[in-house]
Amino acid sequence: MLIHRDIRPLSLLPVLLVVLIGTSCVATRPNEPAPTATSDSPREAPPPFPPPAPEVAEPRDPARTWIVLLGTGTPGSEPDRFGPATAIVADGNAYLIDAGPGVVRRAAAASIVSGLAALYPTNVRVAFFTHLHSDHTLGYPDLILSPWVLGRSEPLRVYGPPGVAAMTTALLEAYREDIRARVEGPERLRRDHLAVQARDVMPGLIFDDGILQVDAFAVPHGTPDRAYGFKLTTADRTIVMSGDSGPFDGLAAVATGADVLIHEAYGAEGLRDRDAEIQRYHASEHTSAIKVGQIASEAGVGMVILTHQLHLGGETEDALVDQVRLSFDGEVAYGRDLDVF
Ligand SMILES: [Zn+2]
Ligand SMILES: [Zn+2]
């Protein structure tokens, strides 16, 4: 304390001046050109602002069915992996499976980088939920509201396990003041354009619009009978999605002959180092990459795409892929956000 008593604010002034002078070379006044790099002060040019728009990809063949991973994350806040969301694009229409955090921005990004205009947020009008865990639904209010603000005028059609209709009603109520302000305030948005047709569905055929047929099947995860996987069938592809699922032997029968199996996975080796409770939870509620390989092999699927990956022991991406390949000799993709298949 005695030492600190002698340090008065003014006594720090020379130190502050030295610090400020020392750092002033990186600051510029408004309207001054940015400093250029010299041999004794190598420096990269400042990034342009606003950043240039991403390059628009060539339009994809509309006759093909495309799988676009919008978010491959988990509840973990990994910066490069947004919340779980997958899009199927067929015949110029987008179909969304789950709506994790960031889904609307990821859909906008995907519409640019994939060249699939169907993914622009106002064009996404059909969504299916595998289950109602928050990591899969935190983007749902975003999906309801943001595209409406951007101009969506047609109803959003939503299908999910029991509870999704009640969740929809609750979300619209939660955002009542926002909706009122945008309808009655200067924006003058049309309330009738904010229509959400949400339906609780049971396992079985839940959707068929002549382009995409969706069959839901129950998987072991969370509340019993409240988590689904989906078999998605179009004219040219059959895709099976596990959703979040514990090891499920019945999946091999559902996925038999499918072109693509999109499956969640955790690293089997890493789990062995975790405590007993975590081991118990993951062994019953999620599926190891080794088991994914066994299911894929038994089903004889064309390829496996891993998503919702959990690296429990810090295992590498390659390690998870290798674990699938222990049993499955087809193509295995480690899914990343904005990948297109
Ligand atoms: Zn999840
Ligand atoms: Zn879950």
Q: Calculate the alpha carbon distances from 255 to 29, 300, 309 in Å.
A: 63, 8, 20
pTM: 0.83
Cα–ligand 1 centroid distance for 177 (angstroms):
30
CA dist., res. 227 & res. 218, Å (int): 6
Q: How far is the CA of 20 from the centre of ligand 1 (A)?
A: 49
Give the Å distance between the CA of 110 and the centre of ligand 2.
24
pLDDT, residue 2, reads 37
Instruction: Supply the pLDDT for residue 53.
Output: 53
Distance 188 CA to ligand 1 centre (A): 37
Instruction: Tell me the CA–centroid distance for residue 323 and ligand 2, in Å.
Output: 22
User: By percentage, how much of the chain surpasses pLDDT 90?
Assistant: 75
Ligand index nearest the alpha carbon of residue 98: 1
**What distance in Å separates the CA atoms of residue 144 and residue 134, rounded to the nearest whole number?**
16
pLDDT digits (tens, 9 = 90+) for 30-78: 344 444 444 444 566 666 665 555 566 677 888 899 999 999 999 999 9
Ligand 1 center from residue 244 Cα (angstroms) = 6
Which range scores top for mean pLDDT: 9-18, 32-41, 47-56, 181-190? 181-190
Nearest CA to 246 out of 212, 218, 205 is that of: 218
Q: Is 306 left (phi over 0), alpha (psi -120 to 50) or beta?
A: beta
State mean pLDDT over 242-265: 97
**Does position 96 have pLDDT exceeding 60, yes or no?**
yes
285 C-alpha to center of ligand 1: Å?
A: 10
Q: Distance between CA 337 and CA 341 in Å, rounded?
A: 12
What is the secondary structure of 231-260 as a DSSP string? EEE-SS-EEEE--S-S--THHHHHTTT-SE
Instruction: Measure the CA–CA gap between 89 and 117, rounded to whole angstroms.
Output: 10
Q: How far is the CA of 94 from the centre of ligand 2 (A)?
A: 23
Mean pLDDT, rounded, for 284-303: 97
Structural domains of the chain, ranges and CATH numbers in brackets: 66-334 (3.60.15.10)
SS3 74: coil
Residues 209-239 have pLDDT tens digits of 999 999 999 999 998 889 999 999 999 999 9
For the purposes of burial, counting CB atoms within 10 Å of the CB of 99, is it exposed (0-12), middle (13-18) or buried (19 or more)?
buried
Ligand found nearest the CA of 73? 1
